[in-house]
Amino acid sequence: MIVRLFEGVPRRGVALLAALLVVLLAAPWMANDYLLTVLIIILYSAYTGQAWNVMMGFAGQLSLGHAIYVGLGGYAAAALYVHFGVGPWLGLAAAITVAVACSAVIGFLAFRFGVGGVYFAILTIAFAEFARIGFDHFGWVGGSSGFFLPVANYARNDLWNLRGNPTMFYYVMLALTFAAFVLCHVLLKSRVGYYWQAIREDEIAARSLGINTFRYKMYAVIISAGMTAVAGVFFAFYYNNLFPEQVFHISRSIELILGPIIGGIGTLFGPLIGAFLLTGLSETMQEILTALGLDAPGAKQVFYGLCLLVVVLALPDGVWPWLAGKLGVAGRRA
Amino acid sequence: MAAEIYFNVAVSGLLTGLVYGLMAVGLSVIFGVVRVVNFAHGEMMTIAMYLAIVLFSSLGLDPLVMVVPLAGVLFALGYAMQAGIINPFITRPEHSQFILLVAVAIIIANVLLIVFGPDARNVQTSYAFDSFLVGPLIIDATKVYAGAATVVITAALVGFFRLAPLGKAIRACADNYTGALVVGLDVKRLYALTFGLGAACVGAAGAMLVLLVDVTPALGPALTLLAFIIVITGGLGSMPGALLGGVLIGLTEAMAGLFFTPSAKSMFSFGLLVLVLLFRPQGILGKRLS
């Protein structure tokens, strides 16, 4: 089983991955609180990017409203915890169920009625916006004034209730990211993965070969939504607050997908590289601008936008395919 | 008395919807020809709105007078954007174009933030409180002027695409990209012209919208989304459809604000969008998608 995981992966790639994992596992001993927080953000966006990549990168279905699954997952688990005292691990099941149900409705409506391409993307935005405004008026979870979890006592780590210090959250997020990476690797090499790639490349050809495109597109949407909902639960318990204007906002959906696109869409390392690059870029820029005395509100985002522009102009396929070539770990293009 | 309130709100929503419709006409023209979804549409609109505010506060120029000059300025911006950065992307996948335009949107929004600060701004004209009395209806004069200008501009644009040789050439590019290349049309230049025309609609709409709503640097995404909803509701590629979609969305939001709560009004627009996408994906006036 374990051996099969590494089939077809260049040896240097495995070594690289192992080295990265060791560094990440050791990070809390070396990093200060600030760096640890940044690393949590990086892993969080790597994880959500990986989840989104299943839908877009593997199966070619562009979702621009993934914030809806983060939000639904976060709200489901937080509401159970606050109102009924149900712990986050049980809440996780509820969160995944809610997000999967919602994604199944969106996917069913879109694919049955033949809504594809740009129209599908805009449909996903519409649902996310619908949820944002809906939750603004949903009094049971605080409406627009936000929903708060009781702030934890950081004296000891309580993994069962997901209450504790940043190091615990870091390891939880690292485990999630690693699990998502392995899951995506397995999916990509499975029959479903090959069906997805066939659909991504040419849906009509895939259907004419006898692939039930409706079913496999639904699988992609559902798996992606379920994975994203897990990130939502983490978000809720890590930040202890949820505001509809924040979690469901279109800019969250956009941030979520920038990483995998910049990193390299449809690749396993893309979301990881993209998360490191973009979060790293954003934080370094802040430091540099502050040092130069240029920290006007908005200045950082202007440079961020310019960097995005440069990357997308220079490396249309993303950073990873180019970097993989340089490092000599480029396998067969997945 | 009660019935009159509904009629007043309906007419007001309808006229505001026309201005949003003009912005959507711009999006429709761009997507219909260039096949690029302009995710920076709302941000371009905020540029036009801030320009109108600056011209009014520094030179006292009325935004309604500035409709044509601002359309010209935005035309130049749109032309430059298409010729400079978007043309290399027309054959790239959607997500690649998406990142490009999102990057442009981020830059515009934050440059505006640096220059103008985060506060909401508007324009107070001498006729801001004028109104026409039509029977029992009280109609806001500003909205009537803006609505009329919108209809004139859209009619001119429809005429251009139907009658002018240049307009016909642009339609040829939209119908068949390869065919247009074969007959020797300079497709890249025509695309730049088209993007310019779409942006000009945005400039004109922005000059008028500044009379109706307050602008902040962060208004862009909401306007972009609104333009999407209107265009898809009305029918992508149909200019009268975009105006009709604008009117429908304006009416829906005005009525939803009256019957429910103003903060929930966009929910009804998104609800309408979902229904249209599912049951008539080509939009109300759109042609069947091939």
Using CA coordinates, name the residue in chain A closest to B97: A312
CB-nearest partner of B102 from A254, A296, A298: A254
pLDDT at residue B86, as a whole number: 93
Q: Does B288 touch chain A (CB under 8 A)?
A: no
Q: How far apart are CA B201 and CA B22, in angstroms?
A: 6
pLDDT at residue A8, as a whole number: 64
Q: How far apart are CA B56 and CA A226, in angstroms?
A: 51
Per-residue pLDDT in tens (0 to 9) along chain B, 290 residues: 578 888 888 999 999 999 999 999 999 999 889 988 899 999 999 999 999 999 999 998 998 889 999 999 999 999 999 999 999 998 888 888 888 999 999 999 999 999 999 999 988 888 878 888 888 888 888 899 999 999 999 999 999 999 999 999 999 998 888 899 999 899 999 999 999 999 999 999 999 999 999 999 999 999 999 999 999 898 877 888 999 999 999 999 999 888 888 888 888 888 888 888 888 878 888 775 54
Q: Own/partner pairs for A203-209, CB < 8 Å, 24+ apart?
A: A203/A60, A203/A116
3-class SS of residue B185: coil
Cβ-Cβ contacts under 8 Å, A110 against chain B:
277
Is there a contact between A115 and B281 if contact means CB atoms under 8 Å apart?
yes
CA distance B252 to chain A (A): 15
Per-residue pLDDT in tens (0 to 9) along chain A, 334 residues: 566 666 666 777 788 888 889 999 988 888 888 999 999 999 999 999 999 999 999 999 999 999 999 999 999 999 999 999 888 999 999 999 999 999 999 999 899 888 888 889 888 998 999 899 999 999 899 888 999 988 756 667 777 777 878 889 999 999 999 999 999 999 999 999 999 999 999 999 999 999 999 999 999 999 999 999 999 999 999 999 999 999 999 889 999 999 999 999 989 999 999 999 999 988 888 888 888 877 777 888 888 899 889 888 888 888 988 888 888 776 544 4
- List CB contacts of B142: < 8 A, sequence separation 6 or more: B125, B127, B128, B130, B211, B212
- Provide the residue ranges of all domains of chain B, joining segments of one domain with +: 2-117+139-279
CB-nearest partner of A298 from B110, B228, B263: B110
Q: Does A312 touch chain B (CB under 8 A)?
A: yes
Buried b (16+ CB within 10 A) or exposed e, B106-142: bbbbbbbbeebeeeebebeeeeeeeeeeeeeeebbeb
pLDDT at residue B236, as a whole number: 79
The residues in B 150-209 lying below 8 A from A, measured between CB atoms, are: none
Plot region of A220 (φ>0 → left; ψ -120 to 50 → alpha; else → beta): alpha
Q: Does B91 touch chain A (CB under 8 A)?
A: no
Cβ-Cβ contacts under 8 Å, B270 against chain A:
126-127, 129-130, 133
Using CA coordinates, name the residue in chain A closest to B113: A298
Interface test with B, best of A257, A302, A306, A317 (most B CBs within 10 A): A302
CA distance B273 to chain A (A): 7
Is there a contact between A312 and B264 if contact means CB atoms under 8 Å apart?
no
Is there a contact between B221 and A262 if contact means CB atoms under 8 Å apart?
no
Is there a contact between A302 and B110 if contact means CB atoms under 8 Å apart?
yes
Neighbours of A15 (CB within 10 A): 11
Using CA coordinates, name the residue in chain B closest to A120: B277
| CA dist B196 → A166, B56, B188, B215 (Å) | 50, 24, 12, 23
pLDDT at residue A16, as a whole number: 82
Domains and CATH numbers, chain A: 2-327 (1.10.3470)
Q: How far apart are CA B172 and CA B184, in angstroms?
A: 11
Interface test with B, best of A55, A61, A122 (most B CBs within 10 A): A122
pLDDT at residue A334, as a whole number: 43
Is there a contact between B273 and A265 if contact means CB atoms under 8 Å apart?
no
pLDDT tens digits for A51-84? Answer: 999 999 999 999 999 999 999 999 999 999 999 9
Is there a contact between B232 and A119 if contact means CB atoms under 8 Å apart?
yes
CA distance B13 to chain A (A): 20
CA distance A105 to chain B (A): 12
Q: How far apart are CA A58 and CA A192, in angstroms?
A: 10
- Asked if residue A269 lies in contact with residue A324, where contact means CB atoms within 8 angstroms, the answer is yes
DSSP A265: T
Q: Does A18 touch chain B (CB under 8 A)?
A: no
Q: Does A105 touch chain B (CB under 8 A)?
A: no
- Asked if residue A180 lies in contact with residue A271, where contact means CB atoms within 8 angstroms, the answer is no
Using CA coordinates, name the residue in chain A closest to B101: A309
Burial class (CB in 10 A: 0-12, 13-18, 19+), A269: buried
**Phi, psi for A242 (deg, rounded to 5):** -135, 125
CA distance A237 to chain B (A): 28
pLDDT at residue B290, as a whole number: 42
CA distance B92 to chain A (A): 8
pTM of the model: 0.89
Q: Does B218 touch chain A (CB under 8 A)?
A: no
Q: How far apart are CA B126 and CA A241, in angstroms?
A: 46
pLDDT at residue A158, as a whole number: 77
Q: Does A261 touch chain B (CB under 8 A)?
A: yes
Cβ-Cβ contacts under 8 Å, B286 against chain A:
none
CB-nearest partner of A113 from B104, B109, B281: B281
Q: How far apart are CA B151 and CA A241, in angstroms?
A: 47
Using CA coordinates, name the residue in chain B closest to A111: B278
As a whole number of angstroms, the longest Cα–Cα distance in chain A is 61
Q: How far apart are CA A92 and CA A80, in angstroms?
A: 10
Is there a contact between B263 and A133 if contact means CB atoms under 8 Å apart?
yes
